[in-house]
Every structure is written in C-alpha cells, then in structure tokens.
Amino acid sequence: MAKKKINKKELANLLKQWSQQFAIFVPSREGDVTKMARWNGEDISFLDWYRNTTISPRDNFQPQVEEMFSFQKDDNSYHLELPATDEQKRVIFAIRPCDARALAIVDKTFKDGYEDPYYLRRRNNTVLVGLSCTNPRESCFCTSLGVSPGESDDVDLMLTEIDDHFLIEEVTRAGSDLVAQVSDLEEATEADEAKAKEVKEASHSKVTRSIDTENIQEKLLSCFEDKEYWEEVAAKCISCGICTLLCPTCYCFDINDEVFRKQGTRFRSCDSCAFSIYTSMPMENPREEKWRRVRQKLCHKYEFYPMNFNVIACTGCGRCIRLCPVNWDITQTLKGLPAKSTA
C-alpha cells in the first residue's frame, strides 16, 4: 500500500481536519500527571516532551469512575435510566505501541468473552493513531513481550518520525479512511521508507531491560505455594495500588450505589487487587495477607491470563516500575523466580 508523509509543521493542520468529524485526544499535562485528553485545537507542543503518559489510554475506555445508570423506586418496581452518551467518534493520537497492545489484551476480557457495553461503546467509537516510540525509558521492557516500540498492528494508522516529517502507514480500513480525509499529504519515497525502517530498528535496540518469558507459567505454578518466597517478594510493597491502577492491562472494578431515599445512581470505579479489602467477603477474605495479593497480581498477568486467553497480560510499558513509591520491580521478581520450588 502506498505510504504518505507529512511535514511536522503541518501536524496541527492535520488534526484540525480530523477534528471536523472526530473528537481528538492527544498527550496532555494535568499538573504532574500526563494522560490522553481532549485536544484544544491548537497546541502540538506535546511533541517536545511526550514519551508516554502517566495514566494509560485504558482510562479513555475504562475511566477511573463512571456512572452505569440511575434508578428510581416506585411501589413495586425500579425505573432505570442510562446516562447520556457522547456519540461523537474519537481519534486517540500518538498512542504508543505498548498501550495499543494493552487494549488488544483487555479486549479479551471486555470484548471477546463477556461483552461490556460501557467499554465497547468507546472502543468501537475510537480510531487509534500510533506514534513510534523513539525514546524508550530505562524501565521499558516491551520487546520481551513481543511489542516493538517502533511499529504496531494494534493501531489503525501508524506514524513514524523521519527527520522533519512523519511517515504515515495505513494499518486498517479505519486508518485508510482517516488518511482519505486529509488534503495535501505527500507521497512517501523509498528513501523515506528506508529511513523509517532505520528509526524503528534503532528504537527496538534502545530497549535494554528484558525478561525471559520462556516457561514462565510453569515457574510460577511451581512456586505458587511457597509462602516464604512470596513473603520475601512482597516485603517492601505498601499496598498502595498505584501499579495496578496505572497499568494499561489491569481492569478490575468495584460497583457501588449512591442512594437517597427512593432514588440513586450506580457507579463503577477501578479497583486494585493490591488493596487488603479487595476480596473481602461476609465469611472470609482469601487474600488478607499482603504476600497473597502480590502473588495474585503477578500470577494474574503471567499465569492465569495466558491460561485463559493465550496471551501474557503485560506489555512491558514499565509504569509499575517507574511509579511504584518503594521501587518494587516486576522484572526483578520475574528474573528471581525459583527454577523449581521445593515448597
């Protein structure tokens, strides 16, 4: 398929053309936190500082808190009302390949098995425009999980920086439709494509942290009952939940009702298996001890999810390493798994 390119100076113009039909989301700063937020129609300075967002783009599909419905009780029945929805189609611009892969992983739960209407409404309404990651952080280990920082099959359109231009590659039909809406794109040359290939290969080699995923399920299974080992692994964790709440592949949520007299609203909010009351039940709490919760976090990603969906639920984005207040490092734990436990 013929590839296009655009001068970086024309990026605002490109986004403006798309914004006639789509709500555009770009990397944005909110205090110390960065996330994908609604574009203001002018500013493309994110190109100067953006590496990846603190809050992953999963938040754009499964927000921290959302209203599910409101209800009103009459004599013998409840009347339910769904919240108003914004039907405008969206473009998420500059998503990194790791975070696009994370959405494909979360799809296994919210799309391919049980169909979650709240997630799917946003997922089906969104076009993903990827941007090659040319400056991975020290905490990134995506290449160990089959993600390449420079390219992606999980987006609709992929952009790669080549000097003062972006090479534009169409990945899906939705991506081609986006390209068709833009006037004044230049045809990419063979030299541009060769340059983009170089950029992608260089990005790949800049990811220096790695883990070995071979036999990882068996290793986790063999030490599953080794309480002493897991206590040591969990020792410094303070159960703050940051690693899971910011992880692009964690999706657990809790449901609560806010009720006043005969009416109320049902909300759902993101939850974390790191919290001690996460599995609290009337008769027992099977994960009251911290080591069981840390074990759950790791095993869910590297043992149970592959068992259920044939894919590891981690993209190596490194957020949990970078943002943990006590420097708990998932890669160190995975590297230190006993070959075979004696427990």
Residues in contact with ligand SF4 by CB under 6 A are 237-243, 247-249, 274, 301, 314-320, 324-326, 328, 330
Give whichever of 14 and 55 is closer to ligand SF4, judged by the CB atom.
55
Q: Is 126 helix (H, G, I), strand (E, B) or coil?
A: strand
How far apart CA 30 and CA 34 sit, in angstroms, is: 6
Crossing angle of helices 227-234 and 290-299, rounded to 10°: 90
Task: List, in sequence order, the alpha helices (H) in the chain.
Answer: 11-19, 46-49, 97-107, 117-123, 173-180, 190-206, 216-222, 227-234, 242-245, 290-299, 305-309, 319-322, 330-335
How far apart CA 24 and CA 37 sit, in angstroms, is: 8
Give whichever of 155 and 211 is closer to ligand SF4, judged by the CB atom.
211
Give whichever of 83 and 325 is closer to ligand SF4, judged by the CB atom.
325
**The one-letter amino acid at 310:** N
CB of 245 to ligand SF4, least distance (A): 9
Give whichever of 23 and 240 is closer to ligand SF4, judged by the CB atom.
240
**E strand or H helix at 303, and its extent?**
none
CB of 302 to ligand SF4, least distance (A): 9
Burial of 281 (0-12, 13-18, 19+ CB in 10 A): exposed
How far apart CA 97 and CA 74 sit, in angstroms, is: 50
Give whichever of 67 and 329 is closer to ligand SF4, judged by the CB atom.
329
CB of 234 to ligand SF4, least distance (A): 8
CB of 252 to ligand SF4, least distance (A): 13
Give whichever of 85 and 269 is closer to ligand SF4, judged by the CB atom.
269
